[in-house]
Structure 1
Amino acid sequence: MVDKFATSKAIAAAFAVMTVSAIAGTIAMITLFEIQSSGINMTAVPTEPITTLAPPPVMRLPESLVPEAYELYLWPHLYTKIIEKVNVTSPNQTMLLTGNSTVHFQCVQATRSIFLHSKDLTILASKVMEKDKKKEIPSLKPIHHTDGSDFMEIPLDDNLKKGEKYSLFLSFEGEISQNLQALFVSTYDEGEPEDEDDESTKRFLAATNLQPTDARKLFPCFDEPDMKAEFLVTIIHRRHTTALGNTHKTSDVLDDDWTCTKFSETPVMSTYLLAFMVSDLECQIPTDGKISMCARPEAIAAGHTKYANKVTLDILRHYELYFDMPFAPDKLDQVALPDLGPAAMENWGLITYQEGGLLYEEGVSSVLHKDTIASLIAHELAHQWFGNLVTMKWWNEIWLNEGFATYMSYAAVDKVEPSFQMKDASIMTDLQAVFEADALASSHPLSPPENDIQGADEINGMFDEISYSKGAMVLRMLATYMGEQTFMNGVKAYLKTYKFENTIQDDLWHHLQLAYGRRDVNVTKVMRSWTDQAGYPVVTINTTSGSFVQKRFLFNSINDANQQWYIPIKTMSNRSNVIDNLLKPGDSGRKDEFISRNGEWILANVNCTGYFRVNYNIENWKRLLTQLEENPHRIPVINRGQLIDDAFNLARAKLVNVTLALNLTRFLSKETALIPWDSAFRNLEYFVHMFDRSEVYGPMQAYLQKQVTELYLSFQNETENPEVTSSHSSKYNQIKAISVACSNGLPECIEMVKSKYDEWMAINGTNNIDTTLRSVIYCQAVAAGGKKEWEFAWEKFLSSKDISEKNQLRYALSCTKKIWLLNRYLEYTLDSEKIRLMDVVPTINNIAMNSAGQALAWNFIRAHWDYVGQVDGALLIEGVTSRFSTQFELDELIRFSNDDEQSSVKWALNQAIEQTRVNIQWVREHKDVILEWFEGEMETAERE
């Protein structure tokens, strides 16, 4: 039970005055209905007024009312500082939230009930007013529906009339949450006290995170993305704290304890973008009059936000030029929060980040951490146009937000940080990751039917790699096919036409069609083949006859879906330039450009611009393999990575022999580029997960050690001498080389990590480990060590103030092979003082990736699901079950799935069950062949 703080009479009176002012404001506010209702597909007017009190047949609000504006007064009673001195009694912390709201709306269809959303709030009073006549409409007590819709219904004595304007006043109370949802509490330590008698340095703050369906937990509202409105927000908060919101503010002191901060009216926006926070955090004075960075005072003082500030200015300028449209808000606060569920949230005018996504400490943070910061900021700033300015109509097309933000971030980072050379590598990472998820029969379309996505669980399920990465990849494919400039001309017209409105995918295709200008290509028809059906094709080409066929690619080929796509495909050979084609549904026969006439190899999907896999006849595979072994640079580097990825996944789907995929790794002993190695590591990791508990692991480990040795040794000078500089992509490859070499027992590697870690552990030892390599060296040293190494890392984790360093140590702690230490670490995740709630899922997943910790993690999450599954249960299921490959594990997974307590992650459990079945069958059919291949390779190596 949360203690409710007893407020003073003065503040209670002040709040009552504000309540009266809110009611009076309902009469004075005039807004334009036409602007608000233009983008809404309203239901037809019934022949008789609606009189039933029953909820709508689907879990969507009726379209009889259109919100126009909210006046919102919120009073979080949280203490940001608890006094803890000797002989001083401190007040108990309070999580009470009180408030009132007035929503002004237009009636577009006669109704006798007001439906809106409210969850976990207690309604204290309500009043419905007819605005023009200043007349109260008698109403009954609000009814809260318990069918999962979160509907609050207010029955009326009389009908609301079509075309009239009304207002609804509600007074309510609730609680500040402790699970990172809605308005939540976060804590941080501002530093060490100067002496033992000083007060505690622990600080509390309250912040919002409302996407997708948590605005209803903050205040009663029309909580659907196309129910856009303006917001006029007032926050009452404790003196000596700062309130931030979507817009500019003015603050007035009420008395010795409280301050009132009023924010100017927001642009028209969706409820999920409303944001505010109350804290003791410090904000920089905006250098350009618009952008401010906010964080813990010591982080601001130490300059840890300087890099984020610089890259924000650069990316924002790039977007304004690229989109030919200015940044809409008149101010932007970017805040580094100690706790936040997602990595970041794009609230208009107040973007929030996990601290690791915004803070960079020179000399401590890895230089590669700048990639994370730049990419995350680029993604969130892209949302200011794609999502905030132009918003999808319903959550079934969230990819219009997330796919665009992901796609636009590639070019933005490449523009402002060209030395990172990360565009192609980032694209390949997204492409190969989503290819794996989309190869399951349980995958979903980018744009499923609206009726399939209704409840909160289904909506949350749409925030996955399909919406983010596949969305970005199909946009990249279309942009390449149309031409980048033509594509952007259409996108700019789309943004200008629908600013402050809601869209469906066909609105985008319409403007791209106008920009393209070709009548022989129907953009809507082409793109709906990619957005309206799940999965993707594999194009099989016979280079002897030139014949081709497309078919949905699935790991489980028994599920033979009859699907077809429009496929833009680029081909080349060692004797020809790139040729463009568009394969259409139902196309069959042959194409001359697919024929190898003089023993040449044919390469399709050049630079992997298309979202599909390619299979060839065995003769062409052999020619490509020969080219890779003799001179790999004749093949584009992206395709060298994709050939590996295609071959391994085609083997998983039993479309090629697994030995073909393994043969493609032979050339890696002489490869130095990041993308091929990254692709190989990603795919061989699947082999490790499937076989590290079997006799296959020994010869496989020996082969991987042999293949990586030359790459590892090529970085030896750089590893020993941190002052030696190299490119960003080279640094990534160096980290991968150390990881693979050490984890597969290369003596030189293990000796190196132990030596560097021992030097740090020595009495009065300093950390001389290259900041870029710390994560991998910490991990491998802890894996090779025991209790001493683990407890040293734990103490450093607890004492470190640098977020990047803490994250690297948190990961390293999961690398130990000591089961009892992993079990202790799992128990620590239940204590938020040790492991923050937002870090619980990644920590457990890291432990599950460790062969010594997989079974521990699985048992642990089942025993403690109520706690560990509350932030991102779907991601937890995906991580902990990724190694499952036995019937026993499948049976346990099914039993867990049948428990009603896991209903919120049912879709993730279904995917895990399907993937486990695929794994079981694949291991059964390929284990002997793979064992024989690895043993044969090592016998050949010994003879040489």
Structure 2
Amino acid sequence: MSTVNNMDKREILPTNVRPTNYKIFLFPDLEKFTFEGEVDINLNVNEDSTEIVTNAYDMTIHSVSVTDVESMEKQDATKFELDDTAQTLKITLANTLKKGSKAKLSIKFTGNLNNEMDGFYRSEYTDSNGQKKYMAVTQFESVYARRSFPCWDEPAIKATFDIKLRAEVEKTTLSNMPIIKEEKVTINGKEYKDVTFDTTPIMSTYLVAYIVGELDYVETMSNPTVPAEAKPIKVRVYTLKGESEQGKYSAEVTARVLEYFSEYFNIPYPLPKMDLVAIPDFEAGAMENWGLVTFRTVALLFDEKKSSVASKERVCTTVAHELAHQWFGNLVTIDWWSDLWLNEGFATFVGTLATDHLYPEWKIFTSFVVDELQSALNLDGLRSSHPVRVEINKATEVDQIFDLISYEKGATIIRMLNACLTEEKFMNGVRIYLQRHKYGNTVTKDLWNALSESSGIDVEKLMGSWIMDVGYPVVTIENSTETNNECTLELTQKRFLSSGNMTPEEEAKYATWWIPLGITTHASPNVPLDNILTEKKQTITVPFPEANNKFIKLNYNETGMYRVKYPKELLNTIGEMIQKGLEDKSKEVIGVSDRISIIADIFALAKNGTENTDNALDLLKYFEKETDYNVLSQIHLKVCELKSVWYNKDNKFLEALSKLVLKIFSPLAEKYGFDYSPSDSFIDAKMRTLVLRAAGCYGDKKVIDEAIRRLELFIKGDNDILDPNIRKLAYTIALNNTTGERAEKFYDDIFHIYQTYEIADQRLMALQSLGTAKDSKLIQRTLELALNTELIRLQDIMYCIAGLAADNSNIRESRPASWKWLVQNWPTFEERYKTSASILGALVKYCANGLNDSEYIKEIEAWVEKMGSKLDIIRMPVNQVIERLKEQNAWIERDNARVQAWAQKY
């Protein structure tokens, strides 16, 4: 039974009773794939009650009784009913539980160790002796604790947990807290152990975790010194047997990040230990269970000699993100899923802060501008995006918003606020918030109140539109006038739509954003003026003294989440200043993040029709001497997007794009070469990988021949000839440039690497590259492979098919083939991934990717209509896929003649 909250339409459990403590006993059977369970739940009775409703799903209930704690009178339930649709257990009692009393609810049950990667589930792997093994693991966010034990499965309903696991003697058992007792028990002649864990702090059900499996570990200590009451924390990274050496790097990162956050938040980490576990089957990247963080193997394990630098970065940022949650999410928890962004956006931002603290030379916040910020802008430019804070009525709907808006847009607006308030006032506000609400639940307003207190600014007013409205603004300089050493700018703001076709009704509907303009000029290139745009139209005057090289630029360091449209003459002056700075470093006045934003904005404006695509391409002439990794990465991304959108049009344009890429990247590929050195900096290693990829994938014959030569030697056993950073590139180049028997041989060899290599990131690189094969036969083979659960893990299907729509040189064949395959096999995917909205949504996204011809759009829409309510679990991402395709179609219709003319000229 559900009740309706007066404030909204949320389907939440009745409030007549509330849990204060759960005593959970579980005995998983890794042969039958079931588990026996018992739970005793201490309840406060808030109203006279003869009925209790709790969450339970995918289990069989054997018995239910309730004991009055004071009188010790016990009554068996007269009736108990499971409702699979509501995912509830309704318990009916003969005798009334009195308001103000305390009761103990006891339930015995059997559950399923499913293979769906949520609840209490099984993960399968093959050990070093080739034997198939299983481990029992948990994933309870968002609403899956109910698949493991009956509970009040809502984030606001916190309690303490006492967990006991029964397992085979040789198995490792883990939970949120340390073990306090182990006892041997014999059942049917077989010896087991009962392992009891210490009582947890008060916490939400989605953060409870336990694991049973055969594991190794590495251990280190974290020694925070601030605040004064901080205590040493034992850190362990658990892996499958024989893989623990690969956990050393993440253990070290964990120790240092815990020290950093203890000081940043000024609150000690509240648990005595921190365990991190690599799980072979795991739907998400990682999960922040308090004291027992679970990861995909590839997001936790790293080998200094055999993994790529991209893997090192991923491990560090993922660990930092999950550890941020130990305070922001676990210690202080959102009241309801509508505020999911508060957990995820904040953890993404401060996780990046922690990475930057550990590795300032990585320039991680510049990468943030290329990756997180642009990803957020791209998704939020769609009509079918959603607000950062989005009303969730059914808890089961929440999985759709674990997306770029909650994570990347959330992090971006937090970064903007951090820059606006100043880092110190922001940090002090966060400390107030955590201290005030620890062990409790909050809504977004609570954070705004704390930040207002620390800064003296009305943060809720500033941030209202950024949180409550869909989308973000484009600021247009309508006019600029110079007089008396000043420049007067006439500015407007309106919602940026990447399709560009906003109606007057929509325009009137959108609120006005509060926009920090961050204006820099030749007179003040590194100290932005603190003007704020608060109206739809506003005139601003800034100092603008006479000089030889005058310029004016908005959104310094790209800290604001908006786009800027400049008049052509202002844009050209910025371009000229960039060019001069690249030719002579002493004249550089426009920094890296600003160069990235100039490129990103003009191409986004070209896509929505307020700028011309040929003008955007012409702007790249100012960047021909660019040497910064992140700027080059942005250029490469933009050209790849054009190539992807125009995949099915006249080849002349694609040939001209290749020429443009080679002009910029081939000299750099020549300079960097294929040989990585131990003395390479992190950025140098990434740079070499990027320039070789750009040159090789756009037809640089030298790079292609050398990559194939090295790959053939690598396959024969020369491990040093092909650095881990460019193996994926070599696989892709080989499969992209060969057909027939030679291509099949490469395919077999690369697939063998996927099956046998001991390093997770390298295995997945091999798998990802299979979809890039040019040969028609191999395209079909990859699609068949993706369906084979014996060879491809359920979680890894995306790695298998991503290349078919993105990098394949035979994209005109592979894209339609992927879509046809998806439709044919959809019933299989529906069954396999019935609780995995993220994987189902990604399948549609990848298999429809780029099919922007009108007939394909109609076909996709017809399929979506035919599927009807069956797609409700992924309605949001499906709508976004279709909108993107229509937007691309309109872009081609509008600009095809111009880009073909540009190609002719180029």
Other structure's SS at 1:143 match: strand
Aligned identity (percent) is: 27
Cα distance in structure 2, aligned partners of 1:651 and 1:436: 13
Find the counterpart in structure 1 of residue 23 from structure 2.
Answer: 71
Which of 479, 482, 489 does residue 546 from structure 1 map onto? 489
Relative distance call for 1:320 and 1:761 in structure 2 (3 A) is same
> CA–CA distance in 2 between the matches of 1:516 and 1:380?
27
The answer to whether the aligner puts 1:862 opposite 2:829 as a matched pair is no
Work out whether residues 421 and 728 of structure 1, in 8 Å CA contact, stay in contact via their aligned partners in 2.
Answer: no
- Determine if the alignment matches structure 1 residue 757 to structure 2 residue 724: no
The structure 1 residue matched to 2:235, chosen from 291, 294, 310, is 291
Counterpart amino acid of 2:235?
I
Query: Which residue of 2 is the match for residue 771 of structure 1?
Result: 724
1:602 to 548, 552, 571: 552
Amino acid at match of 1:550: Q
Superposed CA offset, 1:437-487 (max 9, x none): 0000111111123xx44241x200111010101111111111111100010
Runs of 4 or more, structure 1, over 6 Å off, are 41-44, 594-599
Distance 1:376 1:724, change over 3 A: closer
Contact 2:369 2:596 in 1 (8 A): no
Mean Cα deviation higher: 540-549 or 264-273? 540-549
Alignment partner of 1:416 out of 333, 358, 381: 358
Structure 1 residues 103 and 42 mapped into 2: Cα distance closer, same or farther (>3 Å)?
farther
1:576 and 2:524 correspond: yes
1:747 maps to 701
Contact kept? 2:652, 2:900, Cα under 8 Å: no
TM-score (norm 1): 0.87
Indicate how the Cα distance of structure 1 residues 559 and 125 shifts in structure 2: closer, same or farther if over 3 A, else same.
Answer: farther
Assess if the C-alpha contact under 8 Å between 2:79 and 2:93 holds in 1.
Answer: no
Q: In the alignment, is residue 483 of structure 1 matched against residue 425 of structure 2?
A: no
1:924 aligns with 2:855: no
Paired residue secondary structure (1:676):
helix
CA distance in 2 between counterparts of 1:153 and 1:584 reads: 54
Match of 1:530 in 2: 466
CA distance in structure 2 between the partners assigned to 1:842 and 1:853 by the alignment: 15
The alignment partner of 1:187 has SS state of strand
Question: Which position in structure 2 is the counterpart of 1:783?
Answer: 736
Residues of 1 paired with 2:309 and 2:612: CA distance? 41
Mark the runs of 5 or more structure 2 residues left unpaired by the alignment: 223-232, 482-487, 583-587
Alignment of 1:68-467 (within 5 A): 68-78=20-30, 93-136=31-74, 139-146=77-84, 148-192=85-129, 201-249=131-179, 250-255=181-186, 256-287=190-221, 290-300=234-244, 303-449=245-391, 452-456=392-396, 458-467=397-406
In the alignment, residue 571 of structure 1 is paired with which amino acid?
I
Corresponding pairs, count = 855
Q: CA separation of 1:649/1:594 partners in 2, compared to 1, >3 Å: closer, same or farther?
A: farther
Is it true that 1:492 corresponds to 2:431 in the alignment?
Answer: yes
Residue 62 of structure 1 aligns with an amino acid whose one-letter code is P
Q: Quick one: distance in 1 between partners of 2:12 and 2:81?
A: 16
Amino acid at match of 1:934: A
Aligned pair in 2 of structure 1 residues 127, 292: CA closer, same or farther (>3 Å)?
same
Equivalent position of 1:738 in the other structure: 692
Q: Classify 1:691/1:233 alpha carbon distance in 2 versus 1 (closer, same or farther; 3 Å).
A: same
Residues 876-906 of structure 1, C-alpha deviations (whole Å, 9 max, x = no match):
2222223121122212222232313322111
Structure 2: distance between partners of 1:644 and 1:212:
38
Structure 1 CA distance for aligned equivalents of residues 704 and 798 of structure 2: 29
Question: Secondary structure of 1:435's partner?
Answer: helix
Instruction: Indicate the larger mover: 585-594 or 430-439.
Output: 585-594
Q: CA deviation at 1:597?
A: 7.5
Contact 2:665–2:694 (Cα < 8 Å) also in 1: no
Alignment of 1:705-720 (within 5 A): 705-720=659-674
Paired residues of 2:219 and 2:251 also in contact (CA < 8 A): no
Distance 1:42 1:885, change over 3 A: closer
Residue identity matched to 2:515: I
Residues 592 and 211 of structure 1: CA distance in aligned 2, closer, same or farther (over 3 Å):
same
SS at match of 2:439: coil
Work out the CA distance in 2 between the residues paired with 1:125 and 1:582: 66
Residues in 2 aligned to 1:721 and 1:918: alpha-carbon distance in whole angstroms? 42
- Any idea what the Cα deviations from partners look like across 1:563-622, whole Å, max 9, x if unmatched? 211111200112334343353543533111297987832100000111111112222122
How far apart, CA to CA, are the structure 2 residues paired with 1:363 and 1:57? Answer: 54
- What secondary structure does 1:364 align onto? coil
CA separation of 1:159 and 1:936: change in aligned 2, threshold 3 A: farther
Please give the per-residue CA displacement for 1:368-397, whole angstroms capped at 9, x wherever unaligned. Answer: 321111111111111101111111111111
Long gaps (5+) in structure 1: 1-40, 45-55, 79-92, 193-199, 938-944
Residue equivalent to 1:846? 803
Counterpart-to-counterpart distance in 1, 2:191 and 2:754: 37
Match of 1:30 in 2: none
Distance 1:704 1:615, change over 3 A: same
Distance 1:220 1:308 in 2: 34
More strand by share: 2
Cα deviation code 1:138-175 (max 9, x no counterpart) = 643222335x4312222334544332222221111121
TM-score (ref. length: structure 2) = 0.91
Q: Does 1:588 align with 2:537?
A: yes
Q: Aligned pair in 2 of structure 1 residues 43, 749: CA closer, same or farther (>3 Å)?
A: closer
8 Å Cα contact 1:841/1:868 also seen in 2: no
What's the C-alpha RMSD, in Å, of the aligned pairs? Answer: 2.3
Alignment of 1:846-925 (within 5 A): 846-849=803-806, 850=808, 851=811, 852-868=813-829, 870=833, 871=836, 872-898=839-865, 899=867, 900-925=869-894
2 CA distance for matches of 1:929 and 1:642? 24
Classify 1:671/1:315 alpha carbon distance in 2 versus 1 (closer, same or farther; 3 Å): same
Q: Distance in 2 between matches of 1:715 and 1:685?
A: 18
Out of 821, 829, 841, which is 2:778 matched to?
821
Is the 2:324–2:350 Cα contact (8 Å) retained in structure 1?
A: yes
Query: What is the Cα deviation at residue 826 of structure 1?
Result: 1.8
Matching residue of 2:578: 628
How far 1:717 moved relative to its partner?
A: 4.9
Report what 1:669 is aligned to. 624
Other-structure match for 2:226: none
Q: Which amino acid aligns with 2:497?
A: L
Match of 2:642 in 1: 687
Q: Which amino acid aligns with 2:574?
A: L
* 1:219-260 residue CA offsets vs partner (Å, 9 max, x unmatched): 111000001110111111122112111111122110133221
Report the equivalent of 1:701.
655
CA contact (8 A) 2:339 2:390 kept: yes
Give how far 1:808 is off: 1.6
Decide which moves more: 649-658 or 209-218.
Answer: 649-658
Counterpart amino acid of residue 904 in structure 2: E
2:413 counterpart residue number: 474
Larger deviation, residues 359-368 vs 634-643: 359-368
Q: Deviations over 1:41-95 (max 9, x none)?
A: 9979xxxxxxxxxxx97421122322111111111111xxxxxxxxxxxxxx311
Following the alignment from structure 1 to structure 2, what is the Cα–Cα distance between the partners of residues 914 and 112? 51
- Match of 2:816, as an amino acid? A
* Deviations 1:284-332, CA, capped at 9 Å, x for gaps: 35556611111122112xx211111111111111111111111111111
Distance 1:686 1:766 in 2: 34
CA 1:704–1:630 in structure 2 vs 1: closer, same or farther (change >3 Å)? farther
